[in-house]
């Protein structure tokens, strides 16, 4: 039904990778059911030269360590009460990553509702933000260092892409020039794209 994607897919510059990821599926196989979303929004973080990236200046810590490893690895990061999901890109030794910001639910709607606490009125509020998406999919810090090519959590080939737009990244605050880089990619007119526009 869903096939894991080829590992070579991740071996690409993150700007390209971020764009290519839009339209792909994220699949999470759990004992209680199958959860699938279609990625509609991503952001590229260009490691050493990007002040907004955790790995700016090749900063290598326990947290950023996985970004220096193989492309296709999962970089999970906790922010306040939320978990954010990233895909490691480029090549080994280069700390580039792509943040998955939003998705469109394909399968497992009821499970996602449950994961989110059954308090969500609109379906579009289920997965239209990085923290929400992780929670709906049941992704936690336990997946730090996992690979997006291995079950039970993996990326699968999606449908042909719709029109993609580029824009400014969200929530990176006062990081100088980095604020202006147009490294946010999202599907045009898709209602599941996060609404945090500046």
Partner DNA sequence: TCGTAGATTTTCT
Partner DNA sequence: GAAAATCTACGAC
State the residues that interact with DNA by CB under 7 A: 43, 45, 52-55, 59, 61-64, 75, 77-82, 84, 86, 97, 99, 116, 119-120, 125, 129-133, 141, 170-173, 194, 196
Q: Minimum distance from CB of 65 to DNA (Å)?
A: 8
Whole-number Cα distances in Å, 20 to 38, 119, 143, 171: 12, 33, 22, 22
CA atoms within 13 A on the CB side of 156: 18
Q: Minimum distance from CB of 3 to DNA (Å)?
A: 26
Whole-number Cα distances in Å, 23 to 67, 96, 105: 23, 20, 12
Nearer to DNA, 29 or 92 (CB): 92
Residue of 127, 29, 14 lying closest to 72 (CA atoms) = 14
DSSP run (H or E) holding 136: helix 130-137
Nearer to DNA, 23 or 130 (CB): 130
Nearer to DNA, 30 or 63 (CB): 63
Q: What is the DSSP letter of 196?
A: -
d(CA 23, CA 75): 20
Q: Minimum distance from CB of 10 to DNA (Å)?
A: 15
Nearer to DNA, 20 or 64 (CB): 64
Taken in order 60, 65, 67, 69, the sign of the CA dihedral is: positive
Q: Minimum distance from CB of 183 to DNA (Å)?
A: 11
Nearer to DNA, 72 or 129 (CB): 129
Q: Minimum distance from CB of 84 to DNA (Å)?
A: 5
> Is 86 in contact with 96 (CB distance < 8 Å)?
no
Nearer to DNA, 36 or 97 (CB): 97
Q: Nearest 5°: phi and psi at 26? A: -105, 125
Q: Minimum distance from CB of 75 to DNA (Å)?
A: 7
């Amino acid at each position: 039904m869903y096939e894991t994607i080829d590992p070579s897919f991740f071996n690409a510059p993150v700007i390209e990778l971020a764009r290519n990821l839009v339209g792909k599926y994220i699949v999470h196989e759990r004992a209680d059911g199958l959860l699938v979303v279609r990625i509609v929004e991503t952001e590229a973080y260009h490691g050493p030269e990007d002040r907004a990236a955790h790995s700016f200046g090749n900063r290598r810590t326990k947290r950023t360590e996985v970004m220096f490893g193989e492309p296709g690895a999962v970089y999970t990061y906790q922010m306040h009460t939320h978990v954010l999901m990233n895909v490691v890109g480029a090549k080994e030794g280069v700390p580039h990553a792509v943040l998955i910001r939003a998705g469109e639910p394909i399968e497992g709607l009821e499970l996602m509702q449950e994961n989110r606490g059954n308090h969500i009125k609109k379906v579009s509020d289920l997965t239209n933000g990085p923290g929400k998406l992780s929670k709906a999919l049941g992704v936690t810090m336990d997946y730090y260092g996992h690979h997006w090519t291995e079950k039970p959590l993996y990326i699968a080939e999606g449908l042909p892409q719709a029109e993609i737009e580029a824009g400014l990244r969200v929530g990176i605050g006062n990081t100088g020039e980095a604020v202006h880089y147009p490294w946010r990619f999202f599907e045009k007119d898709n209602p599941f794209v996060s609404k945090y526009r500046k």
